[in-house]
Amino acid sequence: MPTVITAARLVTPVEWIEAPVVVVEDGRITALRSRNSAEIPVGRLLNFPDLVLAPGFIDIHIHGGAGRDAMEADESALAQIERQLVKHGVTAYLPTTVTASRERIFQALDGLGKSIATANKNPGRAAPLGIHLEGPFISHEKRGVHPTQNLLPPSPHAFERFWQASAGTIRMMTIAPELPGAAETIQYARTMGVHSSLGHSNATYQEAQSGISAGADHATHTFNAMRALDHRDPGILGAVLENDGLTADIIADGIHVHPSVLKLFLRSKGADRSILITDAISATDMPEGIYSLGGLEVHVSNGRCEHQGKLAGSVLTLDRAIRNVMTYAGWQLQQAVRLATLNPAQRLGISDQRGLLATGRRADLVVLTPEGQVVQTIIGGEVAN
């Protein structure tokens, strides 16, 4: 028997549908229409009056949550992280590593790769789509809290070793384009289907353009850990903000980036090239205290995560990021939702499966109030929280 989901409105997110009827069979949407033009079919009914349906959110940069760190890379850690994500409407994500010893990175990549291979066996949890390798191919000057002693010069050979350790599950790599060997590494990663993201970089404008020419197609937590923008020295930010072929993500927590700068970012990159991320760590949804980020000790207080006085990730959730865009930039729910659904799906090349509510897509949905509060998350047509 099919599952029939109804609500007051639905955002695909490219359009609104009033009084939607979503029919789900075998985890996929088989019909999507308005009950103003068709009868509600027979089936198991999930009715959400006065609420809004949207695609499940996708977080392409997250380090942990619920007291656990993605680099623990074991079943219990990922299970807690993935259940916590579901509470905030996230149905898919990229577990993200940090710079550490090669042995620790290899161990994390091995564990994450194995978990990704069996992700479909974990109903009711957010699905890991692949790994985001953040570091060690980053700039010393803009390393943030990434340990200096563990930074590595990029090379196709070094990337290949990480790729093999992950069993071919790396989907995104943050890299500083000014480093010797970066262009060759970006080109090589692209042959593996890996998206190179410019970040943790002190690149000049021309060095950033060289990375883009080599195949980089994204930018990591724009403004943070990047050479500052100057009107005579635009640097990496000038290249990121002006390039229409480059998507870029941002941490919209009001701490990493001032709300006015968020508005400028959204105006520059637009509704189709901006992506929301959390950069969340294990402290997310936990009391204030001391937590781990890939082995680093992070102090969390008043919403700030710091290691030795430097920002070290966040406790932001993706639903909060969407609401912050609505508050800080004055965007409507439909516009803001796109930044956490269709845009990341398109960047990863999976918009034929996720990020858009349409016939044939996965039945991963989030039920929202008109203000963007998560009420329920549905994965494969089944209520998950």
Q: Which residues of 317-328 are buried (b: 16+ CB within 10 A; e: fewer)?
A: bbbbbbbbbbeb
Sign for the pseudo-dihedral over CA of 118, 119, 121, 122: positive
**Catalytic annotation present for 279:** yes
**How far apart are alpha carbons 3 and 22 in whole angstroms?**
8
**How far apart are alpha carbons 216 and 246 in whole angstroms?**
8
- Token pair, residue 374, equals 């998560």
The CA angle 243-204-188, to the nearest 5 degrees, is 70
**Token pair 């930074």: residue:** 151
Residues 6+ apart with CB under 8 A from 302: 288
In 3D space, the residue among 197, 196, 193, 190 whose CA is nearest the CA of residue 169 turns out to be: 193
**How far apart are alpha carbons 93 and 132 in whole angstroms?**
9
Catalytic pick from 59, 69, 217, 279?
279
**How far apart are alpha carbons 313 and 375 in whole angstroms?**
26
- First-last CA distance in the chain: 22
Cite the active site residues.
Answer: 279
